[in-house]
Structure 1
Amino acid sequence: MIQQTDFFFEGSRSGVLLIHGLTGTPMEMKLLGKGLNRAGYTVHGMQLAGHCGNAEDLLATGWRDWYASVEQAADALREKVDHLFVGGLSMGALLSLKLAADRPEQIAGVGVYGATFRYDGWSIPRMARMSFMLPFLKKLGIGRDRSFMEQPPYGIRDERLRAQVSAAMLGGDSAAAGLPGNPWYSLAEMYGLSAAVRRQLAQVTAPCLVAHASEDDVASIKNAELVMREVSAPVELLLLDDSYHMITIDKERRTLIERSAAFFDRVAAADIPQRAAA
């Protein structure tokens, strides 16, 4: 059964929509959300369709369902704020970029956190690195019940935090820590989203803060470089040297919060007032 785990922190008339990753949960965005709220922002940490339940709940949805839930959350938050920012982790970063590409007059800026177009980090097993072929297997109806299980260090460099998160994840608490594996068909959907977003990157005109772990174990720095190369927007890069993939909760989360708040502050100060009313 899917549990509702999204969060909302009321603040100013500048708001940030935060989007978690594939098989993840809003909890992975909550520390960032609290930090942005302390900086004055209204924050909604949304829950993607099909998430925070079991594998069957996730498999009942695809990337278009996930994106539709992002659009719905953006519409709701936009009614409460004058400047709307969006930020996402991993696959959530791709959904954030798609929203910015589709709604250039609504999205003031984007936090691109650990963008994952391909699973090509150093901890990804050789077989899992071939997961870009999964859309073909899905078309053939092969492997619906198969998953790639999460591997240590689970995207977390902080050993104490890693132990806590892995215990919750492997213990079946998907609402707190997400699923312990990535179903093949859901990964196939993620790669469909990845292809769609890559085609749209040039349509992203909102300023982007691209934050990535320099030693990302899940998605190599090539993913961040792709964003920086292809978007038609001013880009600020933040490389984090003491974190792995889950930069919103790992060792340098305070740096990420401070840089994100400062980035959104600058963009809001320079943004055209009519943008939010468009």
Structure 2
Amino acid sequence: MGAPPFSTAQNSDHAVLLLHGLSSSPLELRFLARFLAEEGFITHTPELAGYSAGTGHLPMEQWISAAVAQFDALAVQYRHVSVCGLSMGATLAAAVAHQRPAARALLLLSITLSYDGWAIPWYLFMFDYLYYTPLRSRYRYREHEPYGLRNEALRSKIARAMQKNEISEVGPASIAMPALHEARRLAGSVRNKLKGIATDCLIIHAIDDETSSPHNARFVESNVGAAFLRTIWLDDSYHMITSDNEREVVARECALFLRESAAASAASNNPAPVVSRALARRLRQLASVAGKA
């Protein structure tokens, strides 16, 4: 599928599978992938058949299968494999973590279980009905300002790019109705599986997210089965938090959480023995006797 190669971080045993948003490309995660690689993690940002831009349309079950296959390929090579996703990619990442409980950490960036942000048109709910009409193959939902960006300079740049191309560093210029239909199916499936996800979980969401409201993050926070859970709220970004004003904050927090999750795992796998003072004294006596024998 022309996926970018694995990063060349040296001496790393922790790989991160990065999943971009719906009908988009790995460009959305370029800054985060580069940051994590510089921090010593192996990063992989694949294109997925039927999900990524220019790869056609497939049922969401095949999106999950393709992402799980990418996870499994990494798991063969590295001790720790974490999954990170942006927007609908975060929803897909949660589906992967549900099927692969061995995932070290789950990073959910602007998770989208409902398209309910303040910039979403009121008529979007009608798409599920239109999907079963001849309009299914002709209608496309076109992205519009603010393009997920609070940063006005970057927003202007993206607006120009959207006019020239079908894809930009913050996503596609338009999304086909079949893709939206499958995305809604994926979100519904993940909603019902959150309690079964015990993977260490980081949620990062903008309080002004115009695509997926904070309700999405709060729902995950209240229902996910993770024992190690952290939620971070951003106040100077919109939906595309890996490109907007706080992208460095997002990258740093992701790297920190990945390290903490791996460290906690190492500690739990190699617990320090608990020895009473009396037992320690007896062990020293035995060692002394053995030394004199």
Query: What residue ranges of structure 1 are gaps of 5+ in the alignment?
Result: none
CA displacement, residues 48-90 of structure 1 (integer Å, 9 cap, x when unaligned): 2235544xx43x3231222222112111211221011100000
Task: Decide whether the 8 Å contact of 1:88 with 1:95 is kept in 2.
Answer: yes
SS state at 2:148 partner: coil
SS state at 1:153 partner: coil
Instruction: Select which of 154, 164, 182 maps to 2:157.
Output: 164
Matching residue's letter, 2:184? Y
Q: What corresponds to 2:22 in structure 1? A: 22
Partner Cα distance (1:5, 1:15) in 2: 16
Between Structure 1 and Structure 2, how many residues are aligned? 266
Task: Decide whether the 8 Å contact of 1:169 with 1:177 is kept in 2.
Answer: no
Distance 1:46 1:161, change over 3 A: same
RMSD between aligned alpha carbons? 2.1
Segment drifting more, 161-170 vs 8-17: 161-170
Give the share of equivalent positions with the same residue, in percent: 33
SS state at 1:271 partner: helix
Task: Decide whether the 8 Å contact of 1:52 with 1:175 is kept in 2.
Answer: no
Partner Cα distance (1:52, 1:221) in 2: 25
Q: Which has the higher contact order (CA 8 A, sep 6+)?
A: 1
Q: What corresponds to 1:240 in structure 2? A: 234
Within-5 A mapping of 1:1-278:
4=2, 6-11=4-9, 12-50=12-50, 53-54=53-54, 57-58=55-56, 60-104=57-101, 106-128=102-124, 130=125, 133-140=126-133, 142-174=135-167, 178-233=171-226, 234-271=228-265
CA displacement, residues 148-204 of structure 1 (integer Å, 9 cap, x when unaligned): 111200001112222223322331253755431121221111001011111110111
Distance 1:79 1:125, change over 3 A: same
Distance 1:245 1:157, change over 3 A: same
Query: What residue ranges of structure 2 are gaps of 5+ in the alignment?
Result: 270-293
Task: Decide whether the 8 Å contact of 1:110 with 1:208 is kept in 2.
Answer: yes
Segment drifting more, 152-161 vs 264-273: 264-273
SS state at 1:16 partner: strand
The two structures have a TM-score, normalised by structure 2, of 0.84
Partner Cα distance (1:253, 1:32) in 2: 8
Deviant stretches of 4+, over 6 Å? none
The two structures have a TM-score, normalised by structure 1, of 0.89
Task: Decide whether the 8 Å contact of 1:28 with 1:248 is kept in 2.
Answer: yes
Task: Decide whether the 8 Å contact of 1:124 with 1:151 is kept in 2.
Answer: no
Shift of 1:249: 1.0
